[in-house]
Amino acid sequence: MSSYYPRTKDLTRTRKSLTESPPSSPSPTDKNYRHDRLSRYDSSGESATDKPLGCTSSYTRRETRLAALNRQEPDSSVKDYKKMYAEALHENERLKSRLQVSKQELVKIRSQLEKVTQRHDRISERSSVLESEKREKQALEKKVSDMEEEIKTLTELKSDNQRLKDENGALIRVISKLSK
Protein backbone atom coordinates (compact mmCIF):
# COMPACT_ATOMS: atom_id res chain seq x y z
CA MET A 1 0.00 0.00 0.00
CA SER A 2 2.88 2.36 0.66
CA SER A 3 4.09 1.85 -2.91
CA TYR A 4 0.60 2.63 -4.13
CA TYR A 5 0.32 5.92 -2.22
CA PRO A 6 3.24 7.77 -3.91
CA ARG A 7 1.98 6.75 -7.32
CA THR A 8 -1.46 8.22 -6.57
CA LYS A 9 0.22 11.33 -5.29
CA ASP A 10 2.22 11.66 -8.52
CA LEU A 11 -0.91 11.05 -10.55
CA THR A 12 -2.81 13.81 -8.75
CA ARG A 13 0.15 16.14 -9.24
CA THR A 14 0.15 15.37 -12.93
CA ARG A 15 -3.59 15.98 -13.13
CA LYS A 16 -3.23 19.27 -11.29
CA SER A 17 -0.44 20.43 -13.57
CA LEU A 18 -2.52 19.52 -16.61
CA THR A 19 -5.58 21.37 -15.34
CA GLU A 20 -3.62 24.41 -14.23
CA SER A 21 -1.64 24.76 -17.43
CA PRO A 22 -3.25 26.69 -20.27
CA PRO A 23 -4.61 24.70 -23.18
CA SER A 24 -2.04 24.26 -25.90
CA SER A 25 -2.11 23.08 -29.47
CA PRO A 26 -1.93 19.34 -29.95
CA SER A 27 1.58 18.02 -30.04
CA PRO A 28 2.87 16.22 -33.13
CA THR A 29 2.53 12.90 -31.32
CA ASP A 30 -1.13 13.70 -30.53
CA LYS A 31 -1.69 14.48 -34.19
CA ASN A 32 -0.09 11.21 -35.26
CA TYR A 33 -2.14 9.34 -32.69
CA ARG A 34 -5.32 10.95 -33.96
CA HIS A 35 -4.26 10.29 -37.54
CA ASP A 36 -3.55 6.65 -36.74
CA ARG A 37 -6.88 6.32 -34.98
CA LEU A 38 -8.73 7.95 -37.90
CA SER A 39 -6.90 5.88 -40.44
CA ARG A 40 -7.99 2.67 -38.71
CA TYR A 41 -11.62 3.48 -39.50
CA ASP A 42 -13.21 4.23 -42.78
CA SER A 43 -16.28 6.40 -43.27
CA SER A 44 -18.57 3.55 -42.27
CA GLY A 45 -16.87 3.30 -38.87
CA GLU A 46 -15.43 -0.18 -39.49
CA SER A 47 -11.87 -0.89 -38.51
CA ALA A 48 -9.39 -1.33 -41.33
CA THR A 49 -8.12 -4.50 -39.66
CA ASP A 50 -11.65 -5.94 -39.73
CA LYS A 51 -11.84 -5.67 -43.54
CA PRO A 52 -10.64 -8.26 -45.94
CA LEU A 53 -7.34 -7.71 -47.67
CA GLY A 54 -9.04 -6.65 -50.92
CA CYS A 55 -9.98 -3.28 -49.38
CA THR A 56 -6.40 -2.26 -48.64
CA SER A 57 -6.18 -0.26 -51.85
CA SER A 58 -9.06 1.95 -50.70
CA TYR A 59 -7.32 2.15 -47.35
CA THR A 60 -4.11 3.41 -48.94
CA ARG A 61 -6.06 5.84 -51.09
CA ARG A 62 -7.74 7.16 -47.98
CA GLU A 63 -4.38 7.43 -46.24
CA THR A 64 -2.93 9.43 -49.11
CA ARG A 65 -6.01 11.67 -49.16
CA LEU A 66 -5.70 12.33 -45.43
CA ALA A 67 -1.98 13.01 -45.78
CA ALA A 68 -2.69 15.44 -48.62
CA LEU A 69 -5.37 17.16 -46.56
CA ASN A 70 -2.96 17.47 -43.64
CA ARG A 71 -0.37 19.04 -45.94
CA GLN A 72 -2.92 21.48 -47.40
CA GLU A 73 -4.21 22.49 -43.99
CA PRO A 74 -1.27 24.83 -43.09
CA ASP A 75 -1.45 26.50 -46.52
CA SER A 76 -5.17 27.11 -46.18
CA SER A 77 -4.70 28.56 -42.71
CA VAL A 78 -2.10 30.99 -44.09
CA LYS A 79 -4.52 31.91 -46.85
CA ASP A 80 -7.29 32.29 -44.31
CA TYR A 81 -5.10 34.62 -42.27
CA LYS A 82 -4.29 36.61 -45.38
CA LYS A 83 -7.95 36.72 -46.31
CA MET A 84 -8.93 37.70 -42.78
CA TYR A 85 -6.23 40.40 -42.78
CA ALA A 86 -7.46 41.75 -46.12
CA GLU A 87 -11.04 41.72 -44.85
CA ALA A 88 -9.97 43.48 -41.67
CA LEU A 89 -8.13 46.12 -43.71
CA HIS A 90 -11.17 46.58 -45.92
CA GLU A 91 -13.44 46.88 -42.88
CA ASN A 92 -10.98 49.33 -41.31
CA GLU A 93 -11.00 51.50 -44.42
CA ARG A 94 -14.80 51.38 -44.56
CA LEU A 95 -15.02 52.42 -40.92
CA LYS A 96 -12.48 55.20 -41.49
CA SER A 97 -14.56 56.56 -44.35
CA ARG A 98 -17.70 56.39 -42.18
CA LEU A 99 -15.80 58.21 -39.44
CA GLN A 100 -14.80 60.93 -41.90
CA VAL A 101 -18.40 61.28 -43.06
CA SER A 102 -19.55 61.47 -39.44
CA LYS A 103 -16.91 64.10 -38.66
CA GLN A 104 -18.04 66.17 -41.64
CA GLU A 105 -21.65 65.88 -40.53
CA LEU A 106 -20.60 66.91 -37.03
CA VAL A 107 -18.82 69.99 -38.38
CA LYS A 108 -21.89 70.86 -40.49
CA ILE A 109 -24.22 70.43 -37.52
CA ARG A 110 -21.93 72.51 -35.30
CA SER A 111 -21.88 75.32 -37.85
CA GLN A 112 -25.68 75.18 -38.11
CA LEU A 113 -25.92 75.24 -34.32
CA GLU A 114 -23.59 78.25 -34.22
CA LYS A 115 -25.72 80.04 -36.82
CA VAL A 116 -28.88 79.30 -34.85
CA THR A 117 -27.21 80.47 -31.65
CA GLN A 118 -26.06 83.69 -33.33
CA ARG A 119 -29.52 84.19 -34.76
CA HIS A 120 -31.01 83.65 -31.32
CA ASP A 121 -28.51 86.08 -29.83
CA ARG A 122 -29.38 88.63 -32.49
CA ILE A 123 -33.07 88.12 -31.83
CA SER A 124 -32.56 88.50 -28.10
CA GLU A 125 -30.41 91.58 -28.76
CA ARG A 126 -33.12 92.86 -31.04
CA SER A 127 -35.73 92.20 -28.41
CA SER A 128 -33.63 94.02 -25.82
CA VAL A 129 -33.04 96.80 -28.34
CA LEU A 130 -36.74 96.82 -29.11
CA GLU A 131 -37.55 97.05 -25.43
CA SER A 132 -35.13 99.93 -24.97
CA GLU A 133 -36.50 101.54 -28.13
CA LYS A 134 -40.01 101.12 -26.76
CA ARG A 135 -38.95 102.82 -23.53
CA GLU A 136 -37.28 105.60 -25.49
CA LYS A 137 -40.34 105.91 -27.70
CA GLN A 138 -42.60 106.14 -24.66
CA ALA A 139 -40.30 108.74 -23.12
CA LEU A 140 -40.27 110.71 -26.37
CA GLU A 141 -44.04 110.46 -26.70
CA LYS A 142 -44.37 111.78 -23.16
CA LYS A 143 -42.03 114.65 -24.00
CA VAL A 144 -44.00 115.37 -27.15
CA SER A 145 -47.28 115.39 -25.23
CA ASP A 146 -45.71 117.69 -22.62
CA MET A 147 -44.44 120.00 -25.35
CA GLU A 148 -47.83 120.00 -27.02
CA GLU A 149 -49.36 121.02 -23.70
CA GLU A 150 -46.77 123.78 -23.38
CA ILE A 151 -47.50 124.90 -26.91
CA LYS A 152 -51.20 125.01 -26.10
CA THR A 153 -50.53 127.07 -23.00
CA LEU A 154 -48.18 129.31 -24.96
CA THR A 155 -50.76 129.85 -27.67
CA GLU A 156 -53.35 130.58 -24.99
CA LEU A 157 -50.90 132.99 -23.38
CA LYS A 158 -50.23 134.62 -26.73
CA SER A 159 -53.91 134.99 -27.40
CA ASP A 160 -54.42 136.34 -23.86
CA ASN A 161 -51.46 138.67 -24.39
CA GLN A 162 -52.88 139.81 -27.70
CA ARG A 163 -56.30 140.36 -26.14
CA LEU A 164 -54.70 142.31 -23.28
CA LYS A 165 -52.75 144.42 -25.78
CA ASP A 166 -55.95 145.12 -27.66
CA GLU A 167 -57.73 146.07 -24.44
CA ASN A 168 -54.76 148.16 -23.36
CA GLY A 169 -54.82 149.97 -26.71
CA ALA A 170 -58.54 150.55 -26.38
CA LEU A 171 -58.06 151.90 -22.86
CA ILE A 172 -55.26 154.15 -24.00
CA ARG A 173 -57.51 155.57 -26.73
CA VAL A 174 -60.35 156.07 -24.25
CA ILE A 175 -57.98 157.82 -21.80
CA SER A 176 -56.54 159.97 -24.57
CA LYS A 177 -60.04 161.04 -25.69
CA LEU A 178 -61.00 161.86 -22.15
CA SER A 179 -57.90 163.85 -21.55
CA LYS A 180 -58.45 166.01 -24.58
- The verdict on residue 144 lying in a domain is yes
Q: What is the pLDDT of residues 30-52, one digit of tens each?
A: 555 555 555 555 444 555 444 45
Q: What is the pLDDT of residue 28?
A: 52
Strands (E), 48-167: none
Beta carbons of 48 and 40 less than 8 angstroms apart: yes
Residues whose CB falls within 8 Å of the CB of residue 51, separated by 6 or more in sequence, listed in order: 42, 59
Residues whose CB falls within 8 Å of the CB of residue 56, separated by 6 or more in sequence, listed in order: 48
| Structural domain that includes position 174 | 72-179
Q: What is the pLDDT of residues 39-88, one digit of tens each?
A: 555 444 555 444 455 556 777 887 887 777 676 555 555 568 888 898 99
- The verdict on residue 8 lying in a domain is no
- The verdict on residue 10 lying in a domain is no
Q: How many domains does the chain have?
A: 1
Q: Count CB-CB contacts under 10 A for residue 48.
A: 15
- The verdict on residue 104 lying in a domain is yes
Query: CA 47, CA 41: separation in Å to the nearest integer?
Result: 4
- The verdict on residue 96 lying in a domain is yes
CA 54 to chain centre: 70
CA distances (Å), origin 166, targets 19, 162, 176? 134, 6, 15
Q: Is the pTM of this model over 0.85?
A: no
